[in-house]
């Protein structure tokens, strides 16, 4: 299993409710990818429990993409607005929530998050990180070094992310630190970001928590991807092969995937026969 999935259990634990352990007397905050559900997100504005919001790309080099900017929303715990936002985070996987240990200003929290959307990468350039996507955010938190984890969490306090199952994941608060620079993308972080959509899909398709996925399944799914089988519906047809193929069957499957003379459809047909 990739190391970042192993560290999920070290840095977080499952909870049934996203608000478990939150202080009901202080605001909650939600990072929401409003562009993926614009009408439902717009309906949040002004609902009971809605306090305020900021667009996270405002005042950054990403400001030309302002219409697609994620929102940082301040809400009252237990309110109608919070219930709708929590459902959007989990059911549509378009956000995650947090509550600082102490009262915090909305703009100060936004200032912490904004530099994290564009990080220096190990190739000498910069990469855009979809921080609002709980799949990417989970991978970053799990794969980062202890120092980078502290920098990512920073003043956010208690962070809660949705999972492929019905429960949520709550992350350990980081130790208090002074002002710190945004962490950089390492090769391991890049790999985790690339692997995370596959791991999330496999977890959902098999109803097995991310941290319990066998490494062999993930390696096989990655091999399908490298062999040109990239659509989720095609991968679902091959799920029995991913889960149950013995060593000899999988060697034959690998030869099929490596055959440049076969189209993706032909590979799928041949592999499905092996399932």
Mean pLDDT value of segment 105-110:
96
Which range of residues forms the domain containing residue 238? Answer: 214-274
Q: Does any domain span residue 241? A: yes
269 falls within a domain: yes
Give yes or no: residues 77 and 184 share one domain. Answer: yes
Q: Do both 157 and 263 map to the same domain?
A: no
Look at residue 69 and tell me if it is in a domain: yes
Q: Which pLDDT band holds residue 3 (cuts at 50, 70, 90)?
A: confident
Our count of domains for the chain comes to 2
Please tell me the predicted confidence (pLDDT) of residue 174: 79
Is the residue at 209 inside a domain?
no
Same domain, 183 and 223: no
Do 155 and 222 lie in one domain? The reply is: no
pLDDT in tens, 157-209: 999 999 999 899 999 987 765 555 678 999 999 999 999 999 999 999 999 99
- As a whole number of angstroms, the distance between CA 259 and CA 247 comes to 19
* Same domain for 250 and 125: no
Burial of 12 by CB count in 10 Å (0-12 exposed, 13-18 middle, 19+ buried)?
buried
Contacts for 27 with CB less than 8 Å, ≥ 6 apart: 51, 74, 75, 76, 77, 99
- Do 54 and 141 share a domain, yes or no? yes
Answer with the one of 162, 195, 228 that is the final residue of a domain.
195
Q: Which pTM was predicted? A: 0.91
Looking at the fold, whether 184 and 228 belong to one and the same domain comes out as no
Question: Are 232 and 125 in the same domain?
Answer: no
| CB-based contact 153:29 (threshold 8 Å) | no
Q: Looking at the structure, do residues 150 and 234 belong to the same domain, yes or no?
A: no
Cα 134 to the center of its chain, rounded Å: 3
Give the residue-averaged pLDDT of 80-96: 94
Q: Percent of the chain, pLDDT > 70?
A: 97
Any domain includes 203 = no
Cβ-contact 240, 254 below 8 angstroms: no
């Amino acid at each position: 299993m990739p190391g970042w999935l192993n560290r999920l259990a070290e840095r977080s634990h499952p909870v049934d409710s996203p608000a478990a352990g939150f202080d009901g007397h202080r605001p909650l905050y939600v990072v929401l990818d409003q562009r993926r559900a614009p009408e439902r997100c717009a309906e949040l504005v002004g609902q009971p429990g809605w306090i305020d919001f900021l667009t996270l790309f405002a005042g950054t080099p990403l400001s030309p993409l302002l219409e697609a900017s994620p929102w940082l929303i301040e809400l009252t715990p237990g309110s109608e607005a919070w219930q709708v936002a929590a459902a959007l985070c989990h059911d549509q996987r378009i956000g995650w929530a947090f509550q600082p240990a102490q009262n915090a200003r909305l703009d100060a929290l936004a200032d912490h998050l904004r530099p994290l959307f564009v990080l220096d990468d190990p190739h000498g350039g910069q990469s855009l990180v979809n921080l609002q996507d709980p799949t990417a955010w989970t991978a970053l938190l799990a794969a980062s070094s202890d120092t980078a984890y502290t920098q990512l969490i920073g003043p956010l306090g208690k962070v809660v992310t949705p999972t492929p199952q019905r429960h949520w994941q709550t992350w350990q608060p980081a130790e208090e630190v002074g002002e710190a620079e945004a962490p950089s993308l390492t090769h391991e972080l890049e790999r985790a970001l690339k692997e995370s959509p596959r791991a999330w899909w496999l977890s959902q398709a098999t109803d097995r928590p991310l941290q319990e996925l066998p490494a062999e399944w993930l390696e096989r799914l990655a091999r399908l991807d490298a062999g040109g089988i990239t659509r989720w519906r095609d991968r679902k047809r091959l799920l029995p092969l991913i889960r149950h193929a013995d060593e000899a069957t999988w060697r034959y499957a690998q030869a099929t995937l490596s055959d440049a003379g076969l189209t993706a459809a032909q590979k799928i047909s041949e592999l499905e026969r092996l399932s």
